[in-house]
Structure 1
Amino acid sequence: MLFDLVTIPCLADNYAYLLRDHDSGKVALIDVPEAAPILAELKTRGWELSQIWLTHHHPDHVQGLAEVLETHQANVIGGKADEHRLPPLDRKVEEGNTITLGAMEVQVLDVSGHTVGHLAFYVPAAKTAFTADSLMALGCGRLFEGTPAQMWESLQKLIALPADTTLCSGHEYTQSNANFALTVDPDNTALISRAKDIKAARAKGQPTVPSQLSTELETNPFLRPADPGIRATLGMPTASDSDVFAEIRKRKDSF
């Protein structure tokens, strides 16, 4: 199975993604923060959009949609539970549904927390998950609507994916996430090394996403509430994983 994955910087720190199935030539766009860079990338590559997958309703993930649709007649797919605050959808999906892009099957996951109704799209054949503002590089999305328990439940679905999954998240927040992560997991040698690499990459203007799930499992404190070192730092040796996660999220909110 051959595919192309293209990361497109948008706005100040957003990312959109293009996924193309080689056999069929079908192309999906995941989130639409800003039309101009997406349209430019499509024109440069000579690609026509087939589908647009929306992860959640926030403007910085959907506001470029109308302009993209002016030149690409793509089917817009988004969350059934969120249809009342998303742009008009051609298909409404929920957890357990599948989408097909050419020969590739796409699994829909409910990863509510950042918003209620936030979706992730997992493509096993491409070993890629589009997680937007749920699981992020060295972080997770701020809980604007959901509860810590809800977000921890969502993250466990993503933790269960194969470790070699590529994670396509929605923002370039990794350096600030690394700075925070070191405050709750200061002795993690993998994290210390990653933080140095991130700092060097950002100094050169290089993106830090996508990332690999295996790397997040080693270094992202939001996926590691069971870690004894993190629990010791937080003074929560016997708390539940959900409560430790909630404390990490609370500390990040005020960091």
Structure 2
Amino acid sequence: MIDFRNYQPSSDHLEDRVIMVTGAGQGVGKEAALCLAHHGATVVLLGRHVKKLEAVYDEIEANGGAKPAAVALDLERATEAELTNAATQIQSQLGRLDGILHNASAFVGLFPLEQEPMEYWMTHLRVNVVAPAALTRACLPLLRASGDGSVVLVGESHGLQASPYWGSFSVSRAAAMFYAQIAAREWDAQTDPRINIVVPGPIHSPQRIKTHPGEARESLPLPAALMPIYLYLLGADSKGVTGQTFQCADWLTPDA
């Protein structure tokens, strides 16, 4: 197992790679986009809010990173044609795609099953599992053409273990993990992209504030603490690693 506490790839670790980050406008997604760009990647920023994407775009350029691309897309409402068009834009603008970090997530709230309306189920399922699967499928020809493509799904601890009141959110996260495992078994390890799951655990992030509003946030690891595992899985060092679930709580430390 890689020691992610001490994993420090070079600044050109991701040079010549194009990597899409969903949910790139804030929190962990923003941190990932900046980090990947710092290590040489051309980053495709995907998110709902144009102004947030523009701010990350400008920060990458101000830091000397490769000129990114931005795709404004609401994964809750995106049609299959829009997802296909996103892949077409990447092909026409950048000519390649080497990785996807599926960081975007929906969380509506905690409810007893008997009170949770169908629209909340649809939101969680659509954003957390259907959209990532459909977007990956749309991008699969590009990822195959890369020769070293990598797909990373950000999981959630409530997708590993059933807990009361987490309802459709938990189900959607468990479904996404099953999707990744099925894809890893269907795809040819020699010709297809690898796919892995990262379960961050408690992180100081906008979603954590929603799920645990009374928590002492200063005790939580910062988003930067996750970057070593993302750099590993989206870079050449992880070639051949697929179908794995990485639980970051095993090695993350507070205030990292």
Q: Into which bin does the TM-score normalised by the smaller protein fall?
A: 0.3 to 0.5
Greater RCO (CA < 8 Å, at least 6 residues apart):
2
Larger Rg: 1 or 2? Answer: 1
Per residue, is there more strand in 1 or in 2?
1
User: When the two structures are superposed, what TM-score results if normalisation uses the length of structure 2?
Assistant: 0.38
